[in-house]
Structure 1
Amino acid sequence: MRIEFTKMHGLGNDFIVLDARERALPPIDSAAASALADRHTGIGCDQLILLEPSSEGDFRMRIFNADGSEVEACGNATRAVGLLHGQPARIETLGGLLHASPSDSGISVEMGKPRFDWDRIPLAYAMDTHSMPVGWDELTDPIAVNVGNPHVIFFVADPYAVEMDRLGPLIETDPLFPERINVNVAAVTARDAMTLRVWERGAGLTRACGTGACATAIGAMKRGLVDRRVTVTLPGGPLVIEWREDGEIVMTGPATESFRGSFDPADYGMPAGGTKV
């Protein structure tokens, strides 16, 4: 039994998508996900995406980072599977039920409502998440937001001047963040424009992060730095983030299918049986 996959990306944030909605697949664990994600000995990706049947939505999406850890949400992956599905969809995730729809600008995703309470981020102890009294070198005074997964955002003059290779993993694994954290550094360039770089929890420095763009835009809106609709430009390209009056975050941007293929599950330590996860 060979397993078919679709390789996709959203602004360069790339995924291996496995579809178990109608055909049972061997169990996917953290070791198999990490092996498949390896760019030298596997297929290579930032995240492995597993699609399954759902009793809550049209299908369920599970998300494994390149290190094998399973996470709650991924905005770019949601756009990618929305493109793959080809029509409006309700997508069950660990971070909640998301709605993806084709649009003139790509795929629009209703990402849910942001959470700001310290124990919903979560943090290790109570503090004001709007202006956190913590810092790492030049990165100080962050804001924390949960948009299905946890983010901390720093506003700086030049995101590309920040040593993200060094500070990203340091902040990600700080004891303040018991479930680790996604690290965002952003510059506001206009009332409707921002520049962003993201160190993604479990994946490292990434070309694009949809939830990071959402969290950063919401953080800037909370501080009154931008309007309620803003273009966030990442290294891979722009995403449009809107915070509607009903509290829902809407992210719009492109997604692309790169290629399709198949692999032998035994090559990645997976059993050959068809037991569903």
Structure 2
Amino acid sequence: IVAEPGQNGADFSMRIFNTDGSEAEQCGNGARCFAKFLHDEGLTDQTRLVVDTGSRLVQLEIEDNWQVMVDMGAPGFEPSALPFDAQDEANVYQLDVAGEMVEISAISMGNPHAVLLVDDVDTAPVERLGSAIEWHSRFPQRTNVGFACPSTRSKIRLRVWERGVGETLACGSGACAAAVACYRLGRIDEEIEVELPGGIAFVRWPGQGPVFLRGPAVTVYRGEIDPDAL
């Protein structure tokens, strides 16, 4: 939802709602689509925008052929930033999921992410573990869950169970979280391709500072909603 900007230097504010009605703090793919919508509706002709997502300011740059680069801000690793129940910050945590011990990385991209490394994303138990980890007691505000497989130093295959939604075809903040987790574990280089079921995203993170997400934005359809039907 396009909202009035606050007093923090943003050009626009964006509110993000999941399919279960819960409000999200951040959405990388949503930010790219937001930029496309603003231009389609004639609300701006700027190619560089600052957008307030609720949890942080993100910077958008519209490139040729409607590729949109998003400065997603720096990732957070302090457990309290997600929040995640852990005494100390670590690259990997052991999580007891219904008696099964699972290794995760816990990363904030303005919203919480748990990232698991798997051998094969096609057979990963996304629905079973995704739902269980989303609602795990150590994530008091729930979490997004990424199942990542680094196939080369420059490519990750990824499936994401989104908080409040379930499995989705793509998740921009999830792609960033997976890239950060894999980089910190020494599995990938700083600039990579992330293959999701819905398409390809490009992520760059040199080990510190902001994460950059790039991908296309395309108008798929237009519709109208009768407010009286809501």
> Please, what TM-score do these two structures have when normalized by structure 1?
0.75
| Cα distance, 1:189 vs structure 2 | 0.6
**Partner letter of residue 63 of structure 1?**
I
Give 2:115's aligned residue.
Answer: 153
Maintained 8 Å contact 2:193/2:203: yes
Give 1:84's aligned residue.
Answer: 37
Give 2:57's aligned residue.
Answer: 97
Tell me the SS of whatever aligns to 1:115. coil
Match of 1:182 among 144, 152, 170: 144
**Partner letter of residue 126 of structure 1?**
Q
**Partner letter of residue 260 of structure 1?**
R
Cα distance in 2, alignment partners of residues 223 and 124 from structure 1: 21
Maintained 8 Å contact 2:203/2:214: yes
Whether 1:119 aligns to 2:80 is yes
Aligned CA distance change for structure 1 residues 124 and 239 (closer, same or farther; 3 Å): same
Cα distance in 2, alignment partners of residues 104 and 223 from structure 1: 33
| Cα distance, 1:128 vs structure 2 | 3.7
Tell me the SS of whatever aligns to 2:122. helix
Tell me the SS of whatever aligns to 2:177. helix
Give 1:54's aligned residue.
Answer: 5
Match of 1:206 among 151, 164, 168: 168
Cα distance in 2, alignment partners of residues 85 and 267 from structure 1: 26
Whether 1:167 aligns to 2:129 is yes
Higher relative contact order (CA 8 A, sep 6+): 1
Maintained 8 Å contact 1:101/1:107: yes
Maintained 8 Å contact 2:84/2:106: no
Paired residues, number: 219
Unaligned stretches of 5+ residues in structure 2: 40-46
> Please, what TM-score do these two structures have when normalized by structure 2?
0.90
Give 1:239's aligned residue.
Answer: 201
Tell me the SS of whatever aligns to 1:174. coil
Runs of 4+ in structure 1 off by over 4 angstroms are none
Match of 1:133 among 86, 94, 113: 94
Whether 1:142 aligns to 2:104 is yes
**Partner letter of residue 88 of structure 1?**
R
Cα distance in 1, alignment partners of residues 93 and 180 from structure 2: 16
**Partner letter of residue 64 of structure 1?**
F
| Cα distance, 1:100 vs structure 2 | 0.8
Cα distance in 2, alignment partners of residues 135 and 215 from structure 1: 21
Question: Could you say what the CA RMSD is over the residues aligned between the two structures, in angstroms?
Answer: 1.6
**Partner letter of residue 255 of structure 1?**
A
Cα distance in 1, alignment partners of residues 217 and 84 from structure 2: 32
| Cα distance, 1:244 vs structure 2 | 4.3
Maintained 8 Å contact 1:51/1:59: yes
Unaligned stretches of 5+ residues in structure 1: 1-49, 269-277
